[in-house]
Chains A and B, each alone.
Chain A
Amino acid sequence: MLDLRELYQEVILDHNKNPRNAYQMLDANCQAEGFNPLCGDQLTLYLQIKDNRIEKVSFTGSGCAISTASASLMTEYLAGKTLIEAEQLFNDFHNLVMLDSATKEEETLKKQLGKLSVLAGVREFPARVKCATLAWHTLKAALAHEQHPISTE
């Protein structure tokens, strides 16, 4: 039986109630919008990038507990990361939530992702994977200087 607490862990509930870096960044030099047409979640991601490093990151938007917590956790992790490191984080996170089942790889990924790995629980709730990845897809779009809003569909 799937445990709801695997999905709604304390860290997630905390970041949902008190999202970190949830503000509109007026001096951002890179931003992108993400949208999940399935549930109507939308998110704007703001980045300040200098010398290939993310100096500041924030987000605004409306979404479910999973997407809000995921965005909040992501912003905590991204600050100070180089663009290459950010890209690697995207890949690792994507792999973690898309894994079929617990594998040896999972342990490695969890170690690399630290607190972000609390979102691994969405794997058991296929309808919710997109909630967890919305912020990350938006990050990818921002880094690719996407002009159009991205969609998880």
Chain B
Amino acid sequence: MSLILPIRKDFPILNQTIAGKPLVYLDNAATTQKPQCVIDAMTHYYQFDNANVHRGIHTLSERATKAYEAARSKVQKFINAAHGHEIVFVRGTTEAINLVAQSYGRSQFKAGDEIILSQMEHHSNIVPWQMLCEQTGATLRIIPMNQQGELIFDEFTHLLNEKTRLVAITHISNALGTINPLEKFIETAHQHNVPVLIDGAQAVGHLPIDVQALNCDFYVFSGHKMYAPTGIGILYGKEQWLEKMPPYQGGGEMISKVSFEKTTYNVLPYKFEAGTPHIEGVIGLGAAIDYLQTLGLASIYAYEHELLNYATEKLSSIPGLRIIGQATHKSAIVSFVLDNIHAHDVGTILDHSGIAIRSGHHCAMPVMTYFNLPATARASFAFYNTKEEIDVLIQGIDEVKEVLGTC
């Protein structure tokens, strides 16, 4: 444990009190905090290098462009993509999924086609496909899960058929913590020549990602859940698909030649990066990747797994507390409910002890429906959290019961 403790000083926001108590930030699945080096990289950009990218021939523009493209290479290496031009900068996971739905899906799918999703998807991996279905006449098929919160692979194999055009599933469930065994889903889909999109929002920054080893066709994630700023995210797509896809938005940057008669689109990845991008976000993302690599993703995963085991053990010992999501392979996310206490009350009372958790449906209402719950409380961990903070959470839950008189 002590190895990780000095890391906390890299995150200035953690050093504060809430309601007179030290902040215990356990809402990392919603967004992670930013290390000083990420904040500094963005400040440095505005203090010294700010200019538009890929435009001017002046020094500042060259510097900004260099930093911007260097970050793209960092992302490429970080997820082991084959090519830098397979990395498209977008606003976040949500925009990446919408991009694939509206560009790939809308140009390829027709009435009667099927898209396979899973029961544990975040709304952002449901709604863009529903919108696409309305536009094209395609339909959704859903991979069910079991009571542990694991996808039922056999059911998936039955859903695949000659009408299936795409499989879009999450790497890690934001509501349950389940780590899906992606390899076998991807391999099976490919046997039917069906491409696979992976929602990696909860995975990147918590475990090593190798998109070539996974052999997924699209992998999408957000910067802000991996210690980088909000408003920046990544669409990774295999070249063969991205080449086929029409642009998502029109504007500057995504063109190579424009006349009123005809516009020729730019090459990858610029075809998908219309308009001036979120340059400081990209630079911050690059700095976050550098930071994560100094810690090492394997060490981060091992440490967070230790936190998960500790939290699971401690929470399980609380009478009246039930953990929702008991998959064999889990990320450091623990959703729970307390007998006769609503998650929203848990959230308010814990905040009073300086503990930040999430309460609600976690933008995964089908998961709540499956477990017949209106909401859960969710503690989600990052490598800067400690076992001592989990102890504070446990005491906080005792206080919740006391305040609400359900002891």
Contact = CB atoms under 8 A, between A and B. Distances in A.
Contacts of B403: 4-5, 8
B368 A8 contact: no
Given A1-B19, A64-B342, A64-B344, A39 B375 contact: yes
> Chain B interface mostly helix, strand, loop or mixed?
mixed
Contacts of A62: 342, 374
A35 B405 CA distance: 26
A66 B404 CA distance: 11
Contacts of B361: 39-40
B22 to A, nearest CB: 15
Nearest to A5: B403
B349 A4 contact: yes
A13 B404 contact: yes
Interface string A59-71: 0001111101000
B349 A42 contact: no
Interface in B342-384: 342-345, 347-349, 352, 359-361, 365, 368, 374-375
A15 interface: no
Contacts of B341: 65
A118 interface: no
A80 B341 CA distance: 32
A17 interface: yes
The CB with the most chain A CB atoms within 10 A, among B20, B344, B347, is that of B344
Interface residues of A, number: 24
B312 to A, nearest CB: 24
Interface string A1-26: 11011011000010011000000000
Given A2-B19, A131-B344, A17 B374 contact: no
Interface string B8-21: 00000000000110
Contacts of B344: 39, 41, 64, 66, 128, 131
Nearest to A17: B405
25 contacts: A1-B19, A1-B20, A2-B19, A5-B403, A7-B348, A16-B404, A17-B340, A39-B342, A39-B374, A39-B375, A40-B361, A40-B365, A40-B374, A40-B375, A41-B342, A41-B344, A42-B374, A62-B342, A62-B374, A64-B342, A64-B343, A65-B341, A65-B404, A125-B348, A128-B348
Interface of B: 19-20, 340-345, 347-349, 352, 359-361, 365, 368, 374-375, 403-405
Q: Which 9 A-B pairs have the closest CB atoms?
A: A64-B342, A64-B344, A40-B374, A40-B375, A39-B344, A40-B361, A62-B374, A65-B345, A64-B345
